[in-house]
Amino acid sequence: QVMTALVLLLSSLAIASATLGIDAEQAISTSTFTCLKSNSYSFYISRVYRSNGSLDNTGVQNIKNAWAAGLKKVYAYIFPCHSSSFPSAADQVIAAINAVKNGGTKIEMLWLDIEIYN
């Protein structure tokens, strides 16, 4: 019984410390982010660089909208192209960071989404 109580206690602590967030690619308005925030969402992860080698300006605008709505944590990710005909990984990261800065906003962290196409 002690073990069962301990498992239940630890499970409830894990649930209590969980946070809600969203990762999306489509355009999201400030009012939608405000709605998400009022429903306990606290972070957003936005794509800012596509696998075809282009910047994602919708993602940059979403970052601005998320901050404007008062989300506490706003991150970005790049989906880099690993073809030799595209800029290096470092240059893709730099382009993504510059797009965020030039868009007049900021992020707390940049994630890398590395996938292989068959």
- Active-site residue among 23, 25, 91, 108? 23
Q: Could you tell me the strand order of the sheet in which 73-78 lies?
A: 20-24, 41-49, 73-78, 110-112
- Does residue 108 have an active-site annotation? no
Q: Give whole-number Cα distances, 26 to 15, 60, 71, 113, 118, in Å.
A: 29, 11, 18, 17, 25
73 exposed, middle or buried (CB, 10 Å; 0-12, 13-18, 19+)? middle
Residues whose CB is less than 8 angstroms from the CB of residue 92 and which lie 6 or more positions away in sequence, other chains included: 49, 53, 78, 80, 81, 86
- Active-site residue among 25, 91, 108, 113? 113
- Does residue 91 have an active-site annotation? no
Provide the annotated active-site residues.
23, 113, 115
